[in-house]
Chains A and B, each alone.
Chain A
Amino acid sequence: EAGVTQFPSHSVIEKGQTVTLRCDPISGHDNLYWYRRVMGKEIKFLLHFVKESKQDESGMPNNRFLAERTGGTYSTLKVQPAELEDSGVYFCASSQIRGGLRTFGSGTRLTVV
């Protein structure tokens, strides 16, 4: 079975620009999670979708971040406008059961300059 796919793998953008990250979960996994690791810090939870609904978005840092999962399949995470402190690695994960074993993607490394 295909794993969790994220793209792009790397993105370098200027401060103030917009970037959209995409995550394709494992087919049939209703639960999709976004995490972020800022350099030298912990991997932090951003939000959790169950199908197309946001189950928990308590980790979203501010309103410059918008996550969507239309149709309950792939998800996008848009950062608009990007700031320097948004740089880091953004991970996506999916699971079949709510809170169950998660499979992580390879991450998108975002650099804001």
Chain B
Amino acid sequence: AQSVTQPDIHITVSEGASLELRCNYSYGATPYLFWYVQSPGQGLQLLLKYFSGDTLVQGIKGFEAEFKRSQSSFNLRKPSVHWSDAAEYFCAVGPSSGAGSYQLTFGKGTKLSVIP
């Protein structure tokens, strides 16, 4: 069965510091990969996605993620964090083929706090 592991429940960084949120997945085939962000009182917003091609993908708000097949990882990075990045971040995987279920499998989320 597919699963997503986000090993860090809560991370605190200083504004301006770099950020890396970890995500490892277990999936039977090459999945589609996503990072979502949820700010307080808001819905889930898509930050970026990987479907195929270049393993380094760029997203909104200055975020990027790198797909490493050998490590089954899809870590999210940002070179300089802003106070407005404080939110909860979710990694998710979904099927890349058209067969079967179209459900996304999410990790438990990583809550990011930013110190001014």
Contact = CB atoms under 8 A, between A and B. Distances in A.
A93 B92 CA distance: 14
Interface stretch (A14-22, A63-71, A72-80, A94-102): A94-102
A48 B106 contact: no
B43 A105 contact: yes
A33 B105 CA distance: 13
Nearest to A47: B103
A101 B46 contact: yes
Interface residues on A, range: 20 to 34
Interface of A: 3-4, 31, 33, 35, 40-45, 48, 55-56, 58-59, 91, 93, 98-99, 101-107
Interface residues of B, number: 23
Interface of B: 4, 36, 41-46, 49, 90, 92, 94-95, 98, 101-109
Given A104-B36, A106-B41, A56 B104 contact: no
A56 to B, nearest CB: 5
A44 B106 contact: yes
A45 B41 contact: no
Contact of B98 (A56, A59, A98, A107): A98
B108 A48 contact: no
> Ordered nearest first, which 8 A-B pairs have the shortest CB separation?
A45-B103, A99-B102, A104-B44, A106-B43, A43-B106, A104-B43, A56-B101, A42-B106
B108 A107 contact: no
A107 B41 CA distance: 9
12 contacts: A31-B102, A35-B106, A40-B108, A43-B44, A45-B104, A48-B101, A48-B102, A59-B103, A91-B43, A93-B44, A99-B95, A106-B42
